[in-house]
Amino acid sequence: MGAQEFTLQLAPWMIAAVAIIVVLGSIVQSGLGMGFGLMVAPLLALLDPALVPAPTLFLGMFTAAWGAYGDRALIRWNEVAIGSAGRFTGVAAGLLLLFFVSDEAGFSLLFGIMVLTAVLLSVAGRAIAFNNGSLAVMGFVSGTMGTITSVGAPPLALIYHGRGAATARATLAAFFMIGCAGSLIGLYAAGWAGMRDLALAVAMLPPMLLGLWLSRHLRLRFARWYRPWLLSVAGVAGLLLVVRGLLQ
């Protein structure tokens, strides 16, 4: 079953909710170089499964490209290359898992489990030694999770913890720009994405751009309190998705 087969039904209040969610997610992404998927994807999935993962991946790719271009002088491309090699392998693993999802209930259950995994990785907060091997492995995990849910940041955050903030932000932005593109190519090739996903992403571009503009003024203030709130929201949304999948 392809994600594009899910029925899309957005009431006016849901359209407003999507816009607010995307604005907040863009602020997170711009300030930290990651976090858009963890902020946006679980909430959009609760509103309507048709809004994920491809539309969110498009937006994540755009916001990451924005950040990568702004900090392009700080990007460590050798790290991006190693992480991306792992990411592309993870894309194949994610598509294999989606192959076994036969209906919307199964998709909600798998999506919720992956989101909760991302939250647990973030809460654990234990830094992993940074080397080429760990970068490739975490790239693989990021690719698997990111292809299913568009949430691929937490695994990479574990190994970039403690490294220079500016360089890490720029490098991760470049990684997610390329990684989201790889996941989208895989989803389209496997029939899990279609033209409607691109149209939805284009429709969500205005609130995304608004969030990026606001982030210029809110970055430092926002960074102080975002983490507990973000993880709480994502965790609750992940649990609700699991419950929905079990009860449908």
Question: Quick one: three-class SS letters along 50-116?
Answer: HHCCHHHHHHHHHHHHHHHHHCHHHCCHHHHHHHHHHHHHHHHHHHHHHHCCCCHHHHHHHHHHHHH
pLDDT, tens digit, 9 for 90 and up, residues 10-47: 788 889 999 999 998 888 777 665 678 888 999 999 99
pLDDT value of residue 219: 57
What distances in angstroms separate CA 74 from CA 69, 70, 132, 171, one per listed residue? 10, 9, 19, 7
pLDDT value of residue 67: 86
pLDDT value of residue 116: 94
Q: Is the pTM of this model over 0.85?
A: yes
Q: Please list the ranges in the chain whose pLDDT falls under 70.
A: 1-9, 31-34, 125-127, 218-226
Terminal alpha carbon distance of the chain: 16
Token pair, residue 147, equals 């292809």
pLDDT value of residue 128: 83
pLDDT value of residue 1: 45
